[in-house]
Amino acid sequence: MFSASVLALLLLSGSSANAHTYIWGVFVNGVDQGTFRGIRTPAYNAAPNAGGYANSPVKDLGSIDLRCNVLGDIQAPDTIKVQPGDNLTFDWHHDYRNDTDEIIAFSHHGPSLIYISPDPPTENSFVKLWHEGLYESLPHPQPGKWSTTSNIAKNFGHMNVRIPKDLKAGFYLIRAEMIGLHEGDASYAVNPRRGAQFYPDCVQIEVTGDGTIELPEGVSFPGAYNYSDPGIVYDIYCSTETKTRSTGPCTTTYEIPGPTVWSGAWAETTAVSLEPVTDTTTASAWSTWIKNSVVTSATFSDRKTITVVGTSTYSAKWSTTYQTPAPATKRW
């Protein structure tokens, strides 16, 4: 794991504008649990005045970052308690935690997916609870409706799921994800400048109660997706534009990547009424970031002059046994 000094630097990271979409908060049965609480927030990829942002998309299907994004192995200092049957609403945002936020770029059409795994994950431990892709397909050249842009973004960043009925008590990770296919007409393995963009984010939960249902065998991250999957390399423009970049047939059907939804998941996942956000709706500027596995910490003068105060190498190291999150002061 990280040394204490590097971990301390990472926990000082904050967020600002110029961020790609990630989860800012979780509602349980409509009640806000607090901004960034229980969320393994992705790292920032550059200094604030260099245009850095959190949740830089993962494109390499063999990377451990596909599991819970960069810093996914670092625990949040708190865990959200839930019960089987509870409704969870993940509050995705781009710049601000309010209804004026863009949520995700309007061009980032694609599917949304939710998995659950015991915490910590093991081989084949991620089980799919919900997914949605091209949910309204119209004859080309009429645009269809995609989950990321026509559902999640149009509903203020809200993504809904229910804790499975009678799920056994214990600690779990929920892996929520949006996939942008705006460059997915080419494979990242063939052209690293293009390829589908994956935005995973993980939330720590503790399921309470006396349930007895255990999760079945699932899939691994990395490992669940392959470049040969039809939902990974896909010409999104067939369903969103009047013109397509493809020279072949224009396909307006879409196969969501990954496994099927677990039969133990709720058949319907519907939105619930949400109470007002109880915590901050903005985040402070960050002073620590990771680029090419190098952690940099800096100070700023008028947010223009950067003074680097330390660097260290980061390498994800997932524990094989559950570790109780260390108590911490407010992270942001």
Percent of the chain with pLDDT over 90: 70
Number of domains in the chain: 1
Over residues 273-278, mean pLDDT: 94
**Cα(120)–Cα(204) distance, integer angstroms:** 10
Q: Which residues contact 116 (CB under 8 A, 6 or more apart)?
A: 126, 127, 129, 164, 172, 173, 174, 175, 215
- The CB-side HSE value for 268 (13 A sphere, CA atoms) comes to 3
- Residue in the structure block whose two tokens are 């009925």: 165
Look at residue 54 and tell me whether its pLDDT is greater than 50: yes
Residue 303 — pLDDT band, cuts 50, 70, 90? low
Whether the pTM exceeds 0.85: the reply is yes
Please give the structure tokens belonging to residue 255: 């196969």
Domain presence at residue 300: no
Domain presence at residue 124: yes
Q: What is the DSSP string of 45-83?
A: -S-GGGT--BSPPB--TT-THHHH-TTTTSPPS--EEE-
CA distances from residue 284 to 137, 154, 251, 296, 327 in whole angstroms, order as listed: 41, 26, 44, 17, 21
**Cα(229)–Cα(226) distance, integer angstroms:** 5
CATH value at residue 23:
2.70.50.70
Domain presence at residue 75: yes
> Can you list the pairs that 80-83 forms with residues at least 24 positions away whose Cβ atoms lie under 8 Å?
80/26, 80/28, 80/33, 80/37, 80/38, 80/203, 80/204, 80/205, 80/206, 81/205, 81/206, 81/208, 82/28, 82/163, 82/205, 82/206, 82/207, 82/208, 83/163, 83/207, 83/208, 83/209
**Cα(283)–Cα(35) distance, integer angstroms:** 9
Domain presence at residue 187: yes
Over residues 43-58, mean pLDDT: 84
Residue 60 has a pLDDT of: 97
Over residues 66-95, mean pLDDT: 96
DSSP 168: P
Look at residue 330 and tell me whether its pLDDT is greater than 50: no
Closest residue by Cα to residue 86 from 267, 269, 210: 269
Domain presence at residue 290: no
Look at residue 144 and tell me whether its pLDDT is greater than 90: no
- Give the three-state DSSP class for 11: helix
DSSP 166: T
pLDDT digits (tens, 9 = 90+) for 86-132: 999 999 998 899 999 999 998 899 999 999 999 999 999 999 999 99
Domain presence at residue 288: no
Residue 2 has a pLDDT of: 43
- Bridge partners of 136, per DSSP, are 145
Burial 230-261 (b: 16+ CB within 10 A, else e): ebbbbbbbbbbeeebeeeeeebbebebbbbeb
Q: In degrees rounded to 5, what are phi and psi of residue 221?
A: -125, 115
Over residues 165-192, mean pLDDT: 96
**Cα(11)–Cα(53) distance, integer angstroms:** 16
Residue 245 — pLDDT band, cuts 50, 70, 90? low
Look at residue 3 and tell me whether its pLDDT is greater than 70: no
Domain presence at residue 167: yes
Look at residue 141 and tell me whether its pLDDT is greater than 70: no
Over residues 240-260, mean pLDDT: 75
Residue 253 has a pLDDT of: 87
Range of the structural domain that residue 146 is part of: 16-283
Which has the minimum average pLDDT: 35-39, 54-58, 61-65? 54-58
Which has the minimum average pLDDT: 3-7, 47-51, 270-274, 288-292? 3-7
Look at residue 81 and tell me whether its pLDDT is greater than 60: yes
